[in-house]
Chain A
Amino acid sequence: MSIRPASSFGVLALRNLRRARVQLAVVALLSLVAGALLNLGALCGIRYPQLIRGEADRLDAPQIVLLTPTTEAARTQAYLRSDARVSQVDSMTVLSERASLRLRSGSTAADVVYVDLDQQPALGRTEILERRDATVQDPVYLPHLFRATGDYGIGDPFTVTTPAGLTRTFHVAGFFENVYLGFITMGATGLGLPHDEYVALGNASTPPDRLAFLRAKVPDRKQITPVTADLTARLSAPSGAGHRSWVWNWDGIQIVTMTGPMLYALSLVLFALVVTLIVLMAIGFWIRGAIDQDLPAIGMLETFGFRSGQIVRGLALPAALVVLLGATVGVVASYAAVPLIAESLAGQTGMPWHPRPDVVSAVVIVLMLTLAALVPGMLAARSLRRLEPVAALRNRIASRTFRRNWLPLSAARGNLQMHLGLKQALANRTQSILVAVVCLVVGLGSIFSASLFTNVPSNKENFMHMLVGDYGQVAARIAPDADPDAVLAEVRAIPGVQKAVLKDFLQGSAANTQSLAVVMDDFEGQTFSSVAEGREPRHANEIAVGAVLARSTGKSVGQSISVRVGSTTADFLIVGTLSTVQYGGDRMDLTTAGYRRLVPNFQHEALDIAVQPGTSPTAVIDAMSRRLDGRLSSVTNQQQYLGCS
């Protein structure tokens, strides 16, 4: 048996490996976990957004959609055509009505849009994902979300109840995918009908309203929100009074569809980082332990000309190899969990997801973990380089510092055994400190992971607050012709309602950065405050901005910032910064009066309702639908949508 010089210390390492079998098994297992978590995180954070963009491209989705009375259609279409930022406009007639739909959790109010499946528009196709072979009576195709949440299966009866009490009954013939009409609780809910059924519904004795469904293509992604803002400002102008129109855009879709995957990605990656940290600590601990035990041998090797890097390599490489293997297995195994995540995300976004194995991110993850595993070895080699061979031969940490003789026995009183034990502990201070640190990290890690496990799937609220700010369990949209303040007063009177506020999420640009504008009064009454510094706005000239926005625009509390919506610009005084990652941190809080400085005839459309502890949101929703049906265009159980409890 003969050996290579580089592997000679590897043989020494082998002995240490045998000694550290349990430790390395733990490292392998934790690397597996870290690899799996990182891979799932990467899939959620990178591949899912790609899926959404890919679907939009595949279905030729427009960037802005608009539902408007047929009387307004021609004028609006002409306006959009005249906008240089819009490259293509397309219009089709749809049937639409406000209705209540039945879900397992109770009924929900929604704007229903019936589309003729045999008449595909130029922009934004509807794609059938699944259909029944045999014909069903009164067929209807539902957005895939209904299937993903488990609310409906093929063949199930499906009823649409109008505020006037009219009931239309269908049977589910299949499911479809459409970028804008695929949601139950947001925007409009699409219901697909074959051509003959569509015509029949239009000729029914009480047919739904005929509305124009406009779609516009805006090639420059940055222009989507400005174009939408300009369009909205026009629509809510007095000439368009009567029926307020419904507008939605690609940016809105992205916020809605990204929240779930980003939340998953964030928690998976955070957890993976904690696990990785433990792996690195374990490796560092092992290498240092092995070095300490073999110090004289290391001194001998250094004397004969082995460099500290060569010596430590024998220990660092096997550890990195263990991480490499563990992480590889973890990455591969993680695909077993993808269907679970895909299913749970489909329940939020309505999009079916079958990601193909991503070799690039898998390789990057495994390499990153393996390289990280080499770091403890590099640190150990660095400290070994400063150690002179003589010191190592004499089994000492550094040649100039003899260990201090703590508690010399000549001066010791009392129990000899205890003194010897104490001396031992003091002599191995670094080891004792390492043990304490590892215990601390493992302890904190398990507390963190335990809280993630219990918090995220069962009660996402804390995370959701960080991501989307303060929200109640129930959200409602006020019908365009209803008086928001009167609706608010009535909602507040419903038993079980703890708090109800008018709160809209709008768009605008702050110092030329596209931002999410949260518009409401009484910010300070929020249960969950995002304020990082200063306070929320109280007056029409005040604003609070996300810390990210503040940093990117170079503004701070006390300075003024100019905000633009459409073509109107106004200056606001920054009274606070917010700690939020909502909309990438580009969020601004404005009072209602403040927003009216930009859009003079702005009316609130969104209601945010917190129910009293112990009251079921469903009960409140039912009461709201009973008392206010007709004046609310939709009522949503947010807790259910966001996957909480």
Chain B
Amino acid sequence: MTQIQQQGTVLKASQISKTYAHDGLQQHILVNLDLDITRGEYVVVMGPSGAGKSTLMHVLSGMDSPTLGEIEFDGAAIGALNPRRLTDFRRDHCGFVFQQIHLLDSLSVLDNVLAVGLLGRRRRRAEVVRRAGELLDRVGIEEADRGKFPAMLSGGEAQRVAVVRALINSPAVVFADEPTGQLNSESSSAVLDLLGEVSAGGQTVLVVTHDLRSALRGDRVLYLRDGAIRGECVLGRRRDAEHDHDRLSRLTGFLDEMGW
């Protein structure tokens, strides 16, 4: 699935709303939101806390259902899938990095990755193990640390393992909810570089972040507030660190405009 063609819409949200009712009060988290994500695009979502960024990711990935509206993946509505098909959809097409990491504390680092890797269809064990090794190398998790249990890892190491887990099945779309929120700058660079490579290889990446350095990696930055996309800043594909200065000034200008 690494060789995906670069044009066309992979994810399309049409007029989606998400409303929570609690104690008789209705809370509108997303309101009539439209969004098109192109195949291979690297999209960054920013916005104040509680704006509904995580909710948007959940709804787009089929982890949660919108109250109104339609999500299409490759032109097919995922709202029409029954729970089992929806589960299979996530297994076959999506990868996730959670804000709270969520590694299984009873499994070793390697097994946390393999548990997901071996779940995918058409996987040969040796192939999965080899790929897991490669990805772990890429984010700097040493051979010696792969037998460790999550409780023995630092927050940064754990998050890097989680990123590897999200990428092990080469999903069409990678959803990452504040993947660098808890990382120091060295760890975050490793994670961001990996996500950049993935995107360059043709997979679609969707990242929620508060961090300017992370946001700079995106092709497009969306600003979410009060349940709707208030604006977007098209940065274009990042080639190397040398042009970051220019990108940064465009981004800060945009964010100032949005009232960040």
Contacts and interface: CB of A to CB of B under 8 A. Distances in A.
A163 B65 CA distance: 94
Contacts of B20: 400, 402
Interface stretch (B8-16, B94-102, B186-194): B94-102
A308 B87 CA distance: 9
A2 B102 contact: no
A455 interface: no
Nearest to A13: B106
Contact of A11 (B22, B92, B96, B111): B111
Please report whether the interface of chain B is mostly helix, strand, loop or mixed according to DSSP.
mixed
B107 A8 contact: yes
In the complex, which range does the number of interface residues on chain B fall in?
35 or more
Contacts of B108: 1
B129 to A, nearest CB: 6
B102 A296 contact: yes
B83 A385 contact: yes
A305 B87 contact: yes
A433 B117 CA distance: 39
B83 A303 contact: no
B110 A14 contact: no
A5 B63 contact: no
B88 interface: yes
A168 interface: no
Q: Which of A3, A299, A305, A390 lies at the interface centre, i.e. has the most chain B CB atoms within 10 A of its CB? A: A305
A238 to B, nearest CB: 82
A304 B97 CA distance: 10
A304 B58 contact: no
Interface string A475-489: 000000000000000
B213 interface: no
A15 interface: yes
Given A385-B83, A393-B98, A402-B22, A304 B104 contact: no
B106 A12 contact: yes
B64 A304 contact: no
Given A11-B106, A304-B119, A2 B65 contact: no
Contact of B23 (A4, A14, A388, A405): A405
B116 interface: yes
A448 interface: no
Given A305-B119, A390-B63, A2 B114 contact: yes
Contacts of A2: 110-111, 114, 125, 129
Interface string A288-314: 000000001101101111111000000
Contacts of A296: 100, 102
Given A1-B147, A11-B111, A404-B23, A386 B83 contact: yes
A91 to B, nearest CB: 76
A385 B87 CA distance: 10
Nearest to A402: B22
Interface string B64-85: 1100000000000000000110
B87 A1 contact: no
A307 B63 contact: no
B118 interface: yes
Contact of A388 (B22, B65, B84, B120): B65
A304 B23 contact: no
B115 A3 contact: yes
A399 interface: yes
Given A297-B104, A393-B98, A304 B116 contact: yes
A389 interface: yes
A5 B111 contact: no
A404 B22 CA distance: 8
Interface in B146-166: 147, 165
B136 to A, nearest CB: 14
Given A2-B129, A8-B115, A388-B64, A15 B106 contact: yes
A388 B92 contact: no
Nearest to A14: B106
Given A385-B83, A404-B23, A297 B118 contact: no
Given A11-B111, A296-B102, A306 B87 contact: yes
B91 interface: yes
A223 to B, nearest CB: 59
Given A8-B115, A296-B100, A307-B84, A390 B64 contact: yes
A12 B106 CA distance: 6
Nearest to A404: B23
Interface string B218-234: 00000000000000000
Nearest to A304: B116
Interface in A387-440: 388-390, 393, 399-400, 402, 404-405
Contact of B88 (A15, A305, A308): A305
Interface string A174-217: 00000000000000000000000000000000000000000000
Contacts of B87: 302, 305-307
B21 interface: yes
Q: Which of B88, B115, B125 lies at the interface centre, i.e. has the most chain A CB atoms within 10 A of its CB? A: B115
A303 B96 contact: yes
Contacts of A304: 90-91, 96, 116, 119, 165
Contacts of B102: 296-297, 299-300, 393
Interface string B17-54: 00011110000000000000000000000000000000
Contacts of A8: 104, 107, 111, 114-115, 118-119
Q: Which of B23, B65, B87, B110 lies at the interface centre, i.e. has the most chain A CB atoms within 10 A of its CB? A: B87
A389 B114 contact: no
A303 B104 CA distance: 13
A302 B107 CA distance: 17
Nearest to B115: A8
Nearest to B119: A5
A428 B116 CA distance: 32
B234 to A, nearest CB: 30
A303 B92 CA distance: 11
A390 B110 CA distance: 25
A174 B21 CA distance: 87
B112 to A, nearest CB: 9
Given A8-B118, A14-B106, A305-B88, 17 more contacts: A1-B110, A2-B111, A3-B118, A11-B106, A12-B104, A296-B100, A300-B98, A302-B90, A305-B90, A305-B120, A306-B87, A306-B91, A393-B98, A393-B100, A393-B102, A400-B21, A402-B22
Q: Which 3 A-B pairs have the closest CB atoms?
A: A305-B91, A8-B115, A300-B102
7 contacts: A1-B111, A2-B110, A15-B106, A302-B87, A302-B90, A304-B116, A305-B116
Interface of A: 1-5, 8, 11-12, 14-15, 296-297, 299-300, 302-308, 385-386, 388-390, 393, 399-400, 402, 404-405
Interface of B: 20-23, 58, 61, 63-65, 83-84, 87-88, 90-92, 96, 98, 100, 102, 104, 106-108, 110-111, 114-116, 118-120, 125, 129, 147, 165
